Amino acid sequence: METIFSGFLKAIGLLISFDKELYGIILLSLIISGGAVIIATFLGLPLGIITGLKKFFGRDFLATLLNTFMGLPPVVVGLTVYLILSRSGPLGFMDLIYTPYAMVIAQVILATPIIAALSHSTVVAIDPIIRDTARTLGATSSQIAWTIIQESRYSLVTSVIAGFGRITAEVGAVLIVGGNIAGYTRVMTTTIALETSKGEFGVAIALGIILILISFLINSMLHAIRKKGIR
């Protein structure tokens, strides 16, 4: 009980004194996950929307695949990315292992299927009346597609935010490919793991609070967007 209390006090102290190291870690986490979610959006949204709207061979299979990859275990992604980027791996010459870029790559792999699968189910679920109405009004197929995207824009944003939420909270993959190097690849989740293993619960709790706050903000945004979408 005492540990929890003193850890909590220390956490508040670190947060309000704007401890440089702590805020450096928070900033780095946001940059890495922010960058990853941008890339994942450019990959995942088109992928999800196209598999949702266009009929082509293997479409159902692709949709199932996307849903499967939504639940990829982060450590498996980390291990795979490590083996590929390792200096003895196929892309070793790029010298990316144990850099923030390796962490971005791992997070893109984690976030893309989430964004794709959620946006897929969004456009599939759009009321067929909208599609039919657009068609009877003489819309071309690309105009129909655009109408559906317009109609589902709130849910599409939701899927991007869900992807972001997942990767900021993830620890297994970034630990393996980033190496948790102080001031370079050390992000919130890996710091929590390290500080806990060191018995320094104050820093761990401080970052835990931040992570929960971020999660809360994300969910508030989600909620606000959904409400707008319903109206």
Per-residue tokens: 45: 């949204």
Per DSSP, 93 falls in state: G
Q: How far is the CB of 137 from other proteins (least distance, A)?
A: 22
Length of the chain: 231
Q: How far is the CB of 145 from other proteins (least distance, A)?
A: 15
Residues 26-55 that bind other proteins (CB under 8 A): 27-28, 30-32, 34-35, 37-38, 41
Choice from 4, 137, 182, 212 touching other proteins (CB under 8 A)? 182
By CB under 8 A, residue 159 contacts other proteins: no
Is the Cβ of residue 67 or residue 86 nearer to other proteins in the bound state?
Answer: 86
By CB under 8 A, residue 181 contacts other proteins: yes
Is the Cβ of residue 54 or residue 198 nearer to other proteins in the bound state?
Answer: 198
How would you class 62 by CB atoms within 10 Å of its CB: exposed for 0-12, middle for 13-18, buried for 19 or more?
Answer: middle
Is the Cβ of residue 63 or residue 77 nearer to other proteins in the bound state?
Answer: 77
Round to whole Å and give the CA distance between 55 and 80: 32
Choice from 16, 57, 199, 231 touching other proteins (CB under 8 A)? 199
CA dihedral sign of residues 45, 51, 56, 61: positive
For 29, the 3-state DSSP assignment is helix
Round to whole Å and give the CA distance between 1 and 149: 52
What backbone torsions phi and psi does residue 120 show, to the nearest 5 degrees?
-60, -50
Residues 70-129 that bind other proteins (CB under 8 A): 86-89, 92-93, 95, 97-101
Size of the residue set binding other proteins (CB under 8 A): 39
DSSP assignment of 134-151: HHHTT--HHHHHHHHHHH
Per-residue tokens: 109: 């792999």
Choice from 47, 117, 157, 188 touching other proteins (CB under 8 A)? 157
Choice from 75, 79, 154, 169 touching other proteins (CB under 8 A)? 154
Cα-only R_g, the chain: 21
Is the Cβ of residue 113 or residue 202 nearer to other proteins in the bound state?
Answer: 202
Q: How far is the CB of 31 from other proteins (least distance, A)?
A: 5
Round to whole Å and give the CA distance between 171 and 149: 33
Interface residues with other proteins (CB under 8 A) are 27-28, 30-32, 34-35, 37-38, 41, 86-89, 92-93, 95, 97-101, 153-154, 156-157, 179-184, 197-200, 224-225, 228
